[in-house]
Amino acid sequence: MLPVTTTVTDVTGDNMEKSFTLDRNGFQYLKHISAFSREGFAGEEKIQREYYAECEGFLKEVTGASRVFAFDHRVRRGPSDWHEIPVYNVRHRGPLYRAHVDQSYAGAEMVLREKVPNANEVGGLMQTRWGIVNIWRPIKPIHKDPLALCDARTVSDADLVPGSIILDSGQRRESWTVKPTPEHRWYFKYRQQPDEVALIKCFDSDSSPAIARRTPHCAVEDPDAKEEEWRESVEQWFAQHTSSPPLRAKDHVVPSGTFLALLMASVKKSLRANEPGVDAVELPRHIRKGPGLLVFDWT
């Protein structure tokens, strides 16, 4: 893979942060206070039993979906070079620098058929609008390797390269790697907090031109934070469907309990980061600093 230099813009601030929506941009930042503490994310069974239900309710509320169910999750606590660990590297799984979409269009259908084994039910769901959404949450404030999200409107299907993932069980999954172009627009949230979640659209069956169907994402490196502790985050995938017209995440959601209005901060920062191509990932070896931005050079 040949890395390229790409600008990643901080969304922090009232006007920009609340301007992104799932259906227009493919991602959205929302305030959600979880009942889980940092220590709670160490228990896999507890996550599946309690965190799944908590987030299913949240996502159903903010999108208006008729049905939402969680089917997988991943906790990341590890180094960014975890792929180079020769044995059991998934136990130390850290952030992923490769720009990608979690499921391709075909991969989303594979997931649906796997997680809903009743063929008649799958057929019924596929007659409605359905999709897959990733809820991404920091477990502790993000200083190192923040999450970057690409505006879906700037990514054409021609920029997406399908890649198969073969599990130990023999099952095949399919995701997308992203070919870089100058048109892509990338964003991140500086010092993202545990109660500031990102909703990431992985797939939407609605192919209307105005609807974002998927958005690429990846971690980016901040040279000023290279000595910080490993990033800790949790991502969780949900399938959802609706029998009504297109579901749209609401810009202002103020239900009872823990679902609060959007919280905006005032810190400003810009990054330039690696947007990878197709085969491998290299990290920048030389860094130049200029007014208001960082430029990574690859040699």
DSSP annotation string for the chain = ---EEEEEEE--SHHHHTT--HHHHSEEEEE---S--TGGGG-HHHIIIIIHHHHHHHHHHHH--SEEEEEEEEEEES-TTGGG-SSSGGGG-----S-EESS-HHHHHHHHHHH---HHHHHHHTTSEEEEEEEEEESS---SS-EEEE-GGG--GGGEEEEEEE-TTS-EEEEEEE---TT--EEE-TT--TTEEEEEEEEES---TTS-----EEE---GGGTTSPPPEEEEEEEEEEESSS-----SS---STT-----------EEEEEE--SS-----SEEEEETTEEEEE--
Tell me, what's the pLDDT at 223? Answer: 81
> 104-113, 118-127, 260-269 — which is least confidently predicted?
260-269
Give the Å distances, CA to CA, from 134 to 42, 70, 168, 291.
19, 10, 23, 35
Tell me, what's the pLDDT at 197? Answer: 95
Tell me, what's the pLDDT at 228? Answer: 86
> 69-73, 133-137, 193-197, 285-289 — which is least confidently predicted?
285-289
Tell me, what's the pLDDT at 277? Answer: 36
Q: Above 90 in pLDDT, residue 293?
A: no
Q: Please, what is the average pLDDT of the chain?
A: 76
Tell me, what's the pLDDT at 31? Answer: 93
Identity (one letter) of the amino acid at 205?
A: S
Q: Above 50 in pLDDT, residue 254?
A: no
- Categorize the per-residue pLDDT at 274 as very low, low, confident or very high, splitting at 50, 70 and 90: very low
Residue with tokens 């990878």: 276
Interval 126-179: pLDDT, tens: 888 999 999 999 999 999 899 999 999 999 999 999 988 777 777 788 999 999
The pTM for the full model equals 0.77
